[in-house]
Structure formats: structure tokens, C-alpha cells
A and B are shown apart, each in its own frame.
Chain A
Amino acid sequence: MKHLFILSLLLSWMPAALGQTRINGTILSFHDKIPLKKVSIKIKNNKTTLFSDDKGNFSLMYTGKPINLEISYIGYESQEVTVISPSTTPLIILLKEDIFNLKEVMISTGYQQLPKERATGSFTLIDQNTLREQVSTNILDRLEGVANSVVADRNTSAANGRLMIRGLSTIQGPKEPLIILDNFPYEGNTENINPNDVASITILKDAAAASIWGARAGNGVIVITTKKGKLNQKLSVDFNINQTLTDKPDLFYIPQISSSDFIDVETMLYNKGYYKNDINSPLQPALSPVVELLIKQAAASGLEKEKIGDQLNALKRIDVRDEFNKYFYRQSLNQQYAVNLNGGSEIMSWLVSSGYDRNISNLNAPYDRLSLRVENMIKPTKQLELNIGITYTNSKSENGRPEYGSITGHKNSLAPYTRFTDDNGNPLALPKLIKPAHALNIGKGKLLDWQYYPLEDYKHNTTSNIQNSLLANIGLRYKLPFGISTDIRYQYQRQQTTDNTVNDQESYRSRNLVNTYTQISKTGEAIYKIPMGGILEYRNQLMQAHNLRGQLNVDKSWNDHSVSAIAGAEFRETNQGSNGLTLYGYNHDLLSSGLVDYTQEYPSIINGSKQFIPPGPPVRYGLTRFVSLFSNAAYTYKNKYTFSISGRRDASNLFGLNTNDKWNPLWSSGLSWEISKEPFYKSSFLSYLKLRLTYGFSGNVDPSKSAVTTILYQALSPYTLTPYARFNKFANPELKWETNRMINLGIDFSFAANRVNGSIEYYQKKGGNLFGTELLDYTSGIGSTIMKNVASTKGHGVDLELNSLNINQDFKWRTNLNISFNQDRITEYYLSNREASVFLTKGVSGLKGKPTYAVFAYKWAGLDPQTGEPRGYLNNEISKNYNLLVGSGVKIEDLKYYGSAIPTLFGSIGNTFSYKNLSLTFRMMYKFGYYFRRNSINYSSLYSQGMGHADFSKRWKQPGDENTTNVPAYMYPFSGQMQTLYSFGESLVERGDHIRLHYVQLSYQLNKENFRRLPMKTIHLSFNINNMGILWSANKEKIDPDFIGEKSIPNPRSYSFGLRTNF
């Protein structure tokens, strides 16, 4: 805390009277000298508190003794002031904006900026400083750890996670929140946004906040606000460097079967004759190295036999993960540079920024991104304001080395004992398709080498992805009298993606294709139907989005009333086209290529089956259009009561909807009441208290759903040379948009002299007309499932956000706490089918009273003590009748229910300790109240695809083992139903609860004030460690519940150094 001693300017003018004197004062903000109202002024001498008035003025009586005042205000650093003499001129107290604390913030909805104070809806603002606590290429990656009520679901969706705001609002519809960049939806790849251009991110959580976005707001809205220049500001230059070093991923997290176990399995299968089919095949398919050795061993005798046995034993000691670590993985290095210049005169402001990222991934894959942004605001007259902005981003990524899982030998798998080099370091070939001797034989020596060398092959494949993204917008605002203004905005977005894949002549892919299509004539000559050379595949995608918006704004205050309203209309069009070509016989040095005949089928040299030469990709073009009308109005009385209402209608060009039905009205309404402004409100402890209540609807559109039967044209049929088509969507005339109703009750507060502030919110969600999957009797001919508006869900939750300044001395300790509780359950599901398999495999449940994503499992009766076979329960009796245990007769009621598959209680805690200019931040993240199904050994895929799991070593081996293990015995053949019972049985369900240390940041700031000789205003140095790992986890298997996929690996730890300077 700062002590400021204010001496009266008129010390020498000391009045003789020592009686009581009134002292007047004004409290202003340090930077812009704005009067601050309702600032708490605590007189320490007599422990009374008074507040500044609307103009920031206050007055107190001076009794002759020095008065100690403690002045505190939300968003500003507290100050202690000692008045040691009375004065007749007003005392000016300047409060410094506290950059770490919540300010009186402006939030952005994409349609308007409004002070959070006047908002009725639920908004979370993540400011720049919080965003800066992490380093990443994609700004959205930073949200999960810091944003209230945002969680990334990695278990029921893609591996890199899907952001969810306040849980799920849909069952089968699109689940991604809407991303807004400044004013309009961002249709492109969010990786193209330079994170250093971002000023703040606002999350619109409830209906009143989001419903202005109508039919796309059902999953919540994330508004990214970029930095802007300011009028009347000197040139300011920011420069920023980040260097991030990331560890190699831990391949040993992957539960791969041990080489020794795997060789034992292959030996058993060999003895059982499993490989006979391949060994005897006239096609002579490639065999695994172990099988080849076993064949040799069977034919050999004596010493030779022993030698082969030694070779097998040597292979048992190899682990392919060591090979990957040695040859392919490295530490990754990400470099990020950004510069930002801005300034402004009286009539214009400007900003120019640029960012450059260069990442080298763990697999040595380079990624470059350059972004350039220019923003200009011109205010030629008091009425007119013109905004122009252009952002250009160019990114280029290339492939690196192959990752674990991407190298496959024969049967599309990779044996755990695979080596990439021989003892002398020469690249080894991996058996892939057919035996080399056979290749020589069928090709009469005319074929290219048909072997696959993993260590070399990636050098002959280059894939590059280039994205050019342009975002241009222009906005015109004209102020009319009576607080009315009009806005016209237009934005054009264009993202061009070019993918170039070159497999050169040396690559396995090219050699394989050329060989397969080679024909050997009777006289032994080779005819190459695919010319010798490489393959070039070029794909081009162009996305363009146009947005046009006209908007009328009213902002007017008179007496105790103030009105802020907007109304407008917008048109949006997004079109996306793609095309490309494939060239054979391609030579990258000469850019030459050969000709092929696509109209004829050619017999494969391997098995004679005929096939066409793979043609290039089809041309595609898609278009979505929206027309929307929207309006939002808020009326505030006496700065205390606010009433808001908003409405929106969207129409789109989705198939099969009549125009009348296309218009889908969505609305919301809200109230807020700032109780602490009431005259009757006396609490000086709880200095700020505001109540909010909102109710409203938002929607969710799935453009892929259709109300009519549509067909999709494909290529030309090679037989009839006419186009052929397949069904794309089946008529679904009653199709409606999903709606999401939300009630939100919120309290914003601050107490303990504004040292603690935050909000607590309770909400109820009700999803209606939700799409659900109905199982169909496939005699109907359209497959076994159909989507219908069949379900509704109910969810409720609590979000708590708390910021506190726990210690406020030279040493400061701040805490930011986010706790979110979210529960949803299905309230209606008009589907008849209750087949258990659907609830197990599809992930989404449709069971009334249960969460949308729920974990169920077959009841498990342990392993058979005699045989080690899995057992389940049939009519409450232990059974091994697998037909019935996992058949279509098993109903959902027969399964054991665990709970939600997505976290129901989650959040983060950030603690910042600072001493003077040094500060240290820790951020922990936690997820509780959910379950997941872990992987284990799958004997069917072990035998057929060579995919093993480390659990193999824990299998039942002899009677008695059933007491310690649930892994079934090793049987051959293994029935698929037995596998299903185990894979989806109770023994593999785990609790997902865990706490992780997300990141740590140590930073140090040098200011001109502290270091006068500093050539710049500030230098900010930081050191970050990201992905520190799990602190506590409920499962005993050492599984990170965020990384449960078969080959997924937790994000490795990364270390970043950052330097930021301003001058």
C-alpha cells in the first residue's frame, strides 16, 4: 500500500483558529482525471466511513490532529492519505488504476459496448493481463484455464478439446460456441488471429447476453475484442517477444503391449495356424519379422534353431517408442514476436500491429504465421466517425517427421519390437504389403523397390498448408440529434487454404502406386499405367464471408432516466468452395508430370483385382445465407434499476424450410438492481451489491439437417459414364431449430473495502426441440438411425467468480477463484428404443433423468475362476451367455449407471504473489464429478491388427488371478461378444476427478519510475511453465483423464520466456 503524504500548499498560511475546519476534497482517477463517485473514504481515527458524491467530492471536519484516511475503490489501488493541516483549497486525491484488479469494465457483445454496471446479462471478461499469463499460438487455448464456466471437453469429442460454456445445450446439434471477432462472427480458423492483437475476451453466458446472436448463440458466445488506437494519444510502441521450449511428449504414457508379450502372442498364433492363410497365400503378403523368424525356426534344426531363438529374444528387448524418441521426437521451440504502434490526434486514431510466429513442433514440423493489422478511426466532424480496419494473416505449416501411430507396416499396425535401423545405423525396411522376393517374381524384375523404410520415407513426402486470410471491415457512424446515431458496417472475410502434398519418386506411396498399376506383358516388358515419378496433390479451398449490418442506436439520458437501445438488420453469406488436382509422374525439379487414363480399370499386379487410377478431388461449393433482424434496448432509472429486452429473428437458406418457417424468433429480457445505491443501504462492509435476473431464448442451427430428401452427386460412373448420386439427407419435415431457454440470477458484489469482489450466479437451462438419434428398423432402407427433434434437456448450475486481495502490503497476494457447477439431464426423449449398445458406444445417452453424456457399463461379475472368461449378469445371475449379455435384447435398464461423462464441477484457482515489481502466479485447474471409460486389451484387434495394450500383462493366467485382475484370459479365437462385455464392462470405468497445475508465471517489471535510466517506459520480463501436470487424480491407473484416447499423450510441459516493452 502506498502512503502519500499530502501537505497543504498553504502551510505557511496557517490560520490562527485551531477550531474545527471543513476540508473539501475531490477524488479523480490518476490517468484521465475523471471524478470517481462512491469511493470509500475510511477515517482511521474514528473508524467511520464516508463516500464521495457523484462528482467525486467529499468533505470532512478537521479537528486539529492529523487525519489518516484510507481511500479505496473498485478497480483502483487503495491509498492512505494523512492530512496534517487544514486547507481551504480542495484536496485532490488521484487514485491509480489498478491493472490487476477488476475495473469498471466495458463489455462487448459484438453489437454494442456497454458498461458492465448497466448490464443485466451474464458476462465474463478476461482482460489482457490474465490472457498474458499464458503463451500460446491460438488465443482460444488460453481460455480454459482462466475463464469462468468454460471447460474443454476432451472425452466426448476431438482430442484437442471442445470449449463448452455452461455445459451442453444440445445433444446432436453443433456444440461449438459462436466466436465473434469485434463485430462479426469469425468464420475462419482461429489460429489466424494474432494473440497479441487481442485486448480482451468477453464470454456471453446467459440468454440476455447472447440472444442478440439468435439462432447461433445456443452454445454461448465468445467475443474477442482487438486493440484499438485512441484519440489524443501520443505515439505508443509495444514490443513483445516470447520463446517457448516444449519437452518431448511422454511416449511411455501410451499403454503399449510389451515386445516380449507381443512376441509370445505371435508365437501362439503361429502355432495355432493363424498365419497359415497368409503364409500359403499365392499373393504372398508380407509377414511380421517374428512370423518370418518362426517359419525359419520351424524349418531349422540344431544350432540354427538356437540362433533364431536368440534373435527372437533380442527383439523382445526392443521398444519402438525408444526408436521414435531417438529418431523422430525433439523438443519443440515456438517463437513469437509482436509489435504494436498506435497513436491518435484530435480527429483520428490509428493502430498498426504485426505479429510473427515461428514454431518448430516436437516432430520438427515448421509453422510460420505472419499477421499484419491496420486500424484507423477518423472523426472528420463531431457527427461522423469512420472506421477502417484490415487484417492480413499468412500462415504456412509443413509436415515434420512421423508421429507415433502414423508409421504402419503390414495390416496397418506397427509391432512394438520394430526397429528403424539395423545395428550399423542403416535404415531398415518394414514389412508392408508383399514379400520382396515375390515382388521381384511377379514384376519380372521390372518393378521399383517395393520396400518401406520408415526412417527415410518422410523425407520424400512434403505436405504444406498455406493459409491466407484477409479480414477487412469498414464502419460508418453518424450522430443525429437526440442521442441517436446510425451505424453501417460491412465486413469481408476471405480465407484461402492451399494444401500441397508431394510424394516424390522415392516415396513409398509413389513406388507402391506405380508398382500396383504396372502390367507385365507376355514378353516380359513392363507397361507403367501410372508413369514413373512422384505424386502431386494440390487442394485449394476458398472461404468467403460477407457481413452487412445496418443499425440504429439510441443513447440518451435525462434526469433520472437513461435509455440505450439498438435495432438493425444484417445479411450474412458464407461460401466455401474447394477444388484441386492430382498429378502423377510428377517431378518437382522440372515441374513436369505424366498422363494417365482415368477411364479404364487396370488389374492390380498383386491380385488382379481391377481398379481405376485414383482421380483428383471433386469440386465442391457450399453456401449459407442468413437474414436477421435484431433489437436490444435497456432502460435505466436513477442508475439503479435497469430493464433490458432483446429480440432477434433469423432466416436462412437451409433446405426445405419455407420462408415463413425460416423466421425463428428468439428473445430475452432482464432486470438489474444496484441495491448498494439505495438510500436505505448502509452496509459499509458490502460496499457494492447488484442483483440481476434474466430470462430468454437462444437457438442452435445445424445447417446439415434438412427437411427434404436430398441427394449428393458424386463422380461419373465408370461403367455408364453418367453421373451417379447417393442420398445425403432423408426427408425430415417436422425439423425445427433447437432452442435453449435460460434463466439467470446473478449477484455482483464487492466487500471488505473492495478487496474482494466477484459474482455468483445461478442459472437454469432448458433445451427444447433437441435433435436426437432414433434407432430405426433398417428394413426402412435408410440405415439404422435417424435424427429427429425429440428431446429436451434441463440443466442448472452455479458459477462463482471471486477476486480477492488477501494481503496488501509491499507483499501482495491476490486470488482469482472460479467455481462452476453444472448439471444437465434429459427431461424428455420420445424414443422407443432402449437398446443398451447405443448408450455404450455412441456416447450420448437419451435416457430421461440422466445427463446428456453419461457413462454406463455392463454389469460385471468378474472373471470365471476356472477359465478367466469375462462374466456378466443376466437376470441378476452370473452368466456367460454372451449372445444375451451383449445382444440387442439388453436394455438400458440392465446397465450400471455411473454418472456424467463431462465434468459437473470445475474451475480454476489462480494465486498471484507480488513483491514490488516481482510477481509469481500459479494457476490450478480442477474437474470433478464425472466418469470415463478407459482402454484396455482388445483381443480381437490384438489378433487381427496387432494392436496390443499393456494390460495384457495383467491378464488372468491361472485360477486365483480372478481375485486380483479383471483382464480376461488370453483365448483364441476370442469372441467379439466377450470382448464387448469386457470393453464396456464395469471394470473399465474410472472416475475422472482430478486437479492439475496448469501454469506458473514469474514476472518482473521495470518502470521508468523505478529505473530512471531505463530507455523505455516499461520492460516486463516473464517466465512461464505450462502443463505442469496432474497434482491429484481419482483414478489409480495414472491416466490423465483429459487424455484417454488410444494414442493420446498429455501435452508436454513447456517453458516460455517473455519480454514485453513499451516506449
Chain B
Amino acid sequence: MVSRKIYLALFCGLVFGSAGCQKFLDAKPEKTLTIPSTLADFQALLDNYPIFAPDPHEGEHSDDDHYLNNDDWESLYSDYERKIYTWEKEYQFDSEANSWSNTYRTIYFCNTVLEGLQKINRNPKNSAEWDHLKGQALYYRGKRLLQASFIWTPAYDKGTANSDLGLPLRFSADFNIKSKRASVEETYLQLLNDLKSSIQLLPINPVSKVRPSKPACYALLSRAYLSMRDYVNAGLYADSCLQLNHELIDYNDLDGTEINPLKRFNTEVIAENEIGEGQALNFTRGRVSPDLYNMYDQDDLRKEMLFSNNPDGTHGFRARLVGTTGLFGGTATNEVYLNRAESYARAGKTTLALNDLNKLLLKRWRKNKFNPISGLDAKEVLDLILKERRKELLFRGIRWVDLKRLNKEGRNIVLTRNLNNKIYRLEPNDLRYTLLIPQDVITRSGMQQNPR
């Protein structure tokens, strides 16, 4: 060792001086490459929107907002999409290019940032940026866990959450740490904690709606508590969100002749995420369920603005807000209004609940056609709100978790598919409401698969 160093020093000393040699070898092999270590590096990672955009799409592909006819189902390229549609019992996922991989890739980004921040001194000069970074990373880790738990864990149930299988929780960028499934309780505890810790660190008005913000965080917390059927907290967080952002679009201002009258980053959008449409939910295959389409009144402008008309008389969904053919998966004020209304209704505050609902519907109906609703009892209000929720929050990845929680309450919604004259049924609270974790993940990690 010693002789080696002497040899090296001697040689380098002769040619460059030892420091020179060191310098010669310290040059970066690629200029665009760097070891992530500065606040700017971490922001650059968090601004990689293609990584952060996708929300799991399996819920939307499994729910009853749409249906596929037999020809369209058969013509799907991948077995996987066909299997998801029919709630196949086994082997749903066939490759690593799935939402599980997307979910945990984002979490890796977040963990890298969170670990990296520990190594940077927070001082008065950088504190604003430092906090903002931490907030973004916590928000996204929480958000990913929430969206993934809708797919891969059973609906939250206070009674069994401690024993129900949750998600693996990862807090480190060290990929050698073995994945272990936490309970549903632990999963929710963690995601709520991540989201709550981020609130104070996030701005009210982000630079772009692809970045998180305080209202986005409140909206997500409201969604999370709703999925836990903790309606009080769902209402509180919805209220906090609406304090900061309560804009609604008046559909009377939209131009129905445009390909898509609803625009990207419109005023209702709080934060954007995307749900992959795959082949099943492209413009022409996934048709709007007729019972859903028929729920809209003729004077309800949503009937015009949200849907496209197919030559065969069926309807497609055109309100794709993400600028591509993908579906919108973020948070928007209409969801938050409905969350708050439901919370009020369940607490028996019918007036407040109807206030929110009327405010929303007024902007949805043709001018002067909408008569504000009043004079209903608490149950009627709740039923009405849930009906309006179904009509307002469609093709957004929300229906699946709503189905899970509502069936928990005995709403008894049965999903059916009809293909080749074969009827597929998904009974309330069926184990298949919890999708299978991709089999290769189970094989490689030894984690427990969801029961069937």
C-alpha cells in the first residue's frame, strides 16, 4: 500500500505535481451527470413530471364508469388489460411496466430527496427552498401510498385495519432493504403523517399545477379520510382546502363544439396527475355506461361537455384534462365540494350540505334551468350527494375506492360485465376488490400475496 502510494506520488509529482494528477482524475466523466447533492439537484428530480404524473389506473379500468363490448375487449392487445376488465382471479399483471413499479419509483425519488436533505444544513438562507423540497417529497410519498392502497389493500376498516395487509413502506433509498408489508393501519398512519407534515412546507399557489400545494394536500387528506370513512376529518380537510381555493367553472361558459371543451389546468384543477387510458379506455373503446349516461338531465350541461357521441349511438368520455388522451387523476375543487357536502350530510347538517351541492350544480346546469334543491331529510340528502358524486367524479380513479367504501356500508353495488354472452359479476366486498400484487414482486420479495 505504502509503496503504491509512493510510486504514484512520485510519478505524478514528476509529471504534474501530485495535486495535478488528482485533479486530472477528478474530472467529471459526463457534464450532464452529477451526484445529487444540492437543493437544485433535488428540485430537478422532483420536477421530472413524467415520473410523478401517473397515478395507478387499475381502479378506473376495473370500475363501472365504462364498459367494453365484446369486439373491443377481444381486440385488446394485452392479456393484462383483458384480465383487469373481468376481475380475473389470478395473474393479473404480466410485466414490470405496471403501476406498482411506477408507485415505488416515485417513492424512491422522494426518499432520495428526503435523505439528501438530511445532509444539507438548513440555514436562514436556504430554509425556504429546503422546506419546500421536503414538503414536495413528503406530499408525493403520501400521495403515492394513498393511491396505491386504493388498489392493493382492502377498504379501510377500523375493526380489522391492524391485521389487514397493507403496503410495504419504504423510507430509504437503499434498495437492499427487503420489502415487508405493513398493516393497513400502519399504511394509513404513514400516508396521513406524510401528507400532514407537508402542509406547512408547501405554498398556497404553486408555480405550476404539476407541483403540490397546500390546497392539494388538504384535498388529498380529505380524500384519504373519506376512504377511511372518517367523515368528520374528511369534511374538515375539505373545508381547509376550499378556504384556499373554491373556484368552480360555469359550464355555460364552455364551447361544446371544441374537441374537448374542458381545458388543461383549468381553474377547478388543484393539482394534476394522470391516469393511463391504455387501450381499454382510449377514445373509442371504453364507452360510458348507459345507466350512468342516462342519469344526466337534458338541461345538465355535463351531458354535452363531458361526452362524445359515437356513430353507433353510444358515448365516449372526452373530458380528458391532461392534454393528452390520458385521464385526469389529480385533485380538483368539484371533488372537494362533494367531499365536504357528504361530510355535512352524514353529520346531519343538511343545509350546509345542500349549499355546497347547489353551488356546484348551478354551475353545471344550463343557465336558469336549475332549481336549488331543498327540503330533503338527511338520508335523502346523502343519497342525492352520492348520486351527484357519481355523475361529477367519473373517469377519475375515484369511483373504485368509492365502491369499496360504500359497499362496506351496505350500499350493495354489484358490478357486472357481459362478454360473449358470459356474465361476470363482482359482488360487494369481494376479495377481488383488492387487486393482486404483481406476481414477480411476490416471487422476488417473498411478500404475502393478497388473499383470494
Contact = CB atoms under 8 A, between A and B. Distances in A.
A622 B32 CA distance: 8
Nearest to B21: A627
Interface residues of B, number: 91
Interface stretch (B59-67, B105-113, B336-344, B362-370): B105-113
Interface stretch (A220-228, A675-683, A780-788): A780-788
A621 B308 contact: no
Nearest to B318: A608
Given A607-B283, A720-B211, A973-B82, A623 B28 contact: yes
A662 B108 CA distance: 29
Interface in A224-282: 272-278, 280-282
B22 A659 contact: yes
A724 B75 contact: no
A1035 to B, nearest CB: 31
Contact of B35 (A569, A610, A709): A709
A793 interface: no
A976 B323 contact: no
A610 B259 CA distance: 12
A662 B49 CA distance: 37
B324 to A, nearest CB: 4
A917 interface: no
A952 to B, nearest CB: 19
B31 A724 contact: no
A690 to B, nearest CB: 35
Contacts of A723: 40, 44, 47
Most buried by B among A620, A652, A720: A720
Interface stretch (B7-15, B195-203, B327-335, B345-353): B7-15
A580 interface: no
Nearest to A941: B77
A653 B29 contact: yes
Interface string B12-39: 1001000001101111111111111000
Interface stretch (B96-104, B156-164, B225-233, B395-403): B96-104
Nearest to B309: A282
Nearest to B40: A723
Nearest to A778: B101
Interface string B313-326: 00010000001110
Given A610-B323, A784-B96, A976-B78, A888 B207 contact: no
Contact of B30 (A276, A622, A660, A835): A622
A944 B75 CA distance: 8
A469 to B, nearest CB: 23
Contacts of A730: 175
A272 B283 contact: no
A655 B35 contact: yes
Interface residues of A, number: 83
B30 A621 contact: yes
Interface in A882-940: 883, 887-889, 940
A940 B77 contact: yes
A603 to B, nearest CB: 7
Interface stretch (A24-32, A113-121, A711-719): A711-719
Contacts of B5: 660
Contact of B445 (A276, A777, A889, A975): A777
Contacts of A712: 30, 32-33
A711 B41 contact: yes
B25 A627 contact: yes
Given A777-B444, A781-B111, A973-B82, A282 B91 contact: no
A868 to B, nearest CB: 19
B49 to A, nearest CB: 6
A112 interface: no
B149 to A, nearest CB: 14
A780 B179 contact: yes
Interface stretch (B183-191, B243-251, B292-300, B435-443): B435-443
Contacts of B43: 722
Interface in B143-192: 168, 170, 173, 175-179
B179 A779 contact: yes
B104 A781 contact: yes
A651 interface: yes
A622 B448 CA distance: 45
A276 B282 CA distance: 13
B72 interface: yes
Most buried by B among A278, A659, A781: A781
B44 A725 contact: yes
B265 to A, nearest CB: 9
Most buried by B among A652, A720, A775, A777: A777
A724 B79 contact: no
Interface in A630-689: 651-656, 659-660, 662-663
Given A621-B31, A833-B444, A975 B79 contact: yes
Interface string A690-728: 000000000000010000111111100101101111111
A276 to B, nearest CB: 5
A781 B445 contact: no
Interface in A734-787: 775-784, 786
B260 A608 contact: yes
Nearest to A725: B44
A976 B94 contact: yes
Contacts of B173: 709, 781
Nearest to A973: B74
Contacts of B27: 623, 625, 653
B283 A620 contact: no
Contacts of A775: 440, 444
Contacts of B90: 883
Contact of B36 (A281, A709, A972): A709
A569 B21 CA distance: 13
A488 to B, nearest CB: 12
A777 B441 contact: yes
A656 B91 CA distance: 41
B284 A781 contact: no
A272 B222 CA distance: 46
A872 to B, nearest CB: 15
Nearest to B30: A622
A686 B79 CA distance: 70
Most buried by B among A727, A778, A833: A778
Nearest to A283: B283
A627 B15 CA distance: 11
A623 B440 contact: no
Contacts of B41: 711, 725
A174 to B, nearest CB: 15
Nearest to A601: B323
Interface string B402-419: 000000000000000000
A786 B444 CA distance: 13
Nearest to B12: A627
A571 interface: yes
Nearest to A624: B29
A663 B312 contact: no
A995 interface: no
Nearest to B308: A282
Nearest to A629: B11
Contacts of B47: 717, 719-720, 722-724
A944 to B, nearest CB: 5
B127 interface: no
Contacts of B31: 620-623
Contacts of A603: 259, 323
15 contacts: A273-B70, A277-B75, A277-B284, A282-B316, A607-B325, A625-B27, A653-B25, A655-B33, A663-B4, A713-B34, A719-B208, A778-B104, A781-B106, A781-B108, A784-B96
Given A663-B8, A780-B108, 18 more contacts: A273-B75, A277-B75, A282-B283, A571-B15, A621-B30, A621-B32, A625-B27, A655-B29, A655-B33, A711-B41, A726-B48, A778-B101, A779-B104, A781-B104, A781-B106, A781-B173, A784-B101, A976-B78
